Amino acid sequence: MTTIHQTLNDLATGNNLTSDQSREIFTALLTGRLTPAQSGALLMGLSAKGETPDELGAAVDAAMAQARLVPDLTGKRIDTCGTGGDGKKSFNCSTAVALFLADLGYQVVKHGNRAVSSQCGSADVVESLGYPLVDDPEQVAEELRKRNFVFLFAPHFHPAFKHVAPIRQELRIRTLFNLMGPLLNPAEPTHQIIGIPNPQFAPMLARVLVKRKELTAAIVHGAGGFDEVTPCGTSSVLYVDRGKTRSCFIVPRELGISLCKPEELICPTKKEALAMQTAILTGNAPKAVKDMVALNLGLALHLLEDDLTLKEGVDQALEALNCGLRRGSEYAA
């Protein structure tokens, strides 16, 4: 059996952990068998050494083994979730995309938490719009049937993270758990957009995702350092499509989107972020904000529909955004 002392010694000497070793030690972490000092040293040691795909994949496996998984879901279902940590204090683009997808008839299983790098996280937005933070896996299918949208508040579905949350809060640095977040959706989406603030993490995430043979995903890094596609310049995308990968770039002007400045996408307070969300959902957002949502919504539609080009997806997204949600009174209360 791997001990924490052996593991910390391996990390201190710059050695990578094996998959089995990682799975054992993260199981120990998530079941409360490590002390706070040991847990902090583990996360810091991995971050300092640089995490590997095997370490990330094994940690995800350990976490999902402790999760409350959602039963009885069928058909296409999509999540839009970033790793957070870009420090941009931007409006919550991924939640706006999720709500428009639901309005367009797609099943959305949004997995999220409170704010990380923004002033207003996805849970904050969803609460402000009157949605429940579903806490029972058995309720998810019914919630999807009613609205095409369900918000899975991460702490409700990953109770084992109570052993990790205080350590992460005290460390206040990027750890392996930032990368794990988008990979831990208990509803196991068939389609996914994952935003990352640093493109160096894309190949590692892809190595984990390719093992999910039924998954179609896009790992995106936006121009300006955002963890979403932006109209600030060229964004990078690494597609994972049923076990295969390919990379490309998204150039806004090629999609009929004009460039903007990063500061046009910022919401410095929670109040402003929530007001911006309502503006987006009712078709009244500023052009730069609307363009950013259109790029990400268009990418989601492109993933979900095999015969839809990215340009066609963005065009459809702009049309929807100009009109606002069709069920506006329900979503943008």
The pair of three-digit structure tokens given for residue 128, joined into one six-digit string? 């402000």
* pLDDT attached to residue 114: 73
User: Which tops the pLDDT comparison, 149 or 332?
Assistant: 149
Widest Cα–Cα separation across the chain: 59
Task: Specify the domain boundaries for CATH 1.20.970.10 within the chain.
Answer: 4-66
- Distance CA(236)–CA(229), nearest Å, equals 8
pLDDT score of 255 more than 80: yes
Q: What is the mean pLDDT of residues 46-51?
A: 96
Residue 117 binned pLDDT confidence (cut-offs 50, 70, 90): very low
Q: What is the mean pLDDT of residues 170-190?
A: 92
User: Which tops the pLDDT comparison, 304 or 89?
Assistant: 304
CATH of domain 78-331: 3.40.1030.10
* pLDDT attached to residue 333: 40
- Distance CA(285)–CA(90), nearest Å, equals 14
Look up the CATH architecture of domain 4-66. Up-down Bundle (1.20)
Residue 115 binned pLDDT confidence (cut-offs 50, 70, 90): low
- Distance CA(190)–CA(205), nearest Å, equals 16
- Distance CA(136)–CA(133), nearest Å, equals 9
Residue 119 binned pLDDT confidence (cut-offs 50, 70, 90): low
Which one-letter DSSP state was computed for residue 285? Answer: -
Residue 332 binned pLDDT confidence (cut-offs 50, 70, 90): very low
Task: Specify the domain boundaries for CATH 3.40.1030.10 within the chain.
Answer: 78-331
Residue closest to 140 by CA, chosen among 150, 129, 127: 150
pTM of the model as a whole: 0.93
Structural contact between residues 150 and 109, judged by C-beta atoms closer than 8 angstroms? yes
* pLDDT attached to residue 331: 46
Give me the chain's average pLDDT, please: 93
Q: Which helix (H) or strand (E) holds 137?
A: none
pLDDT score of 330 more than 80: no
Q: What is the mean pLDDT of residues 64-70?
A: 97
* pLDDT attached to residue 159: 95
Residue 243 binned pLDDT confidence (cut-offs 50, 70, 90): confident
Residue 233 binned pLDDT confidence (cut-offs 50, 70, 90): very high
- Distance CA(271)–CA(269), nearest Å, equals 5
Lowest average pLDDT, out of 156-160, 162-166, 194-198, 324-328, goes to 324-328
Q: Which tens digit of pLDDT belongs to each residue from 157-175?
A: 999 999 998 998 899 888 9
Q: What is the mean pLDDT of residues 288-306?
A: 98
Question: What string of DSSP letters covers 202-265?
Answer: HHHHHHHHTT-TT-EEEEEEBTTTBSS--TTS-EEEEEEETTEEEEEEE-GGGGT-----GGGG
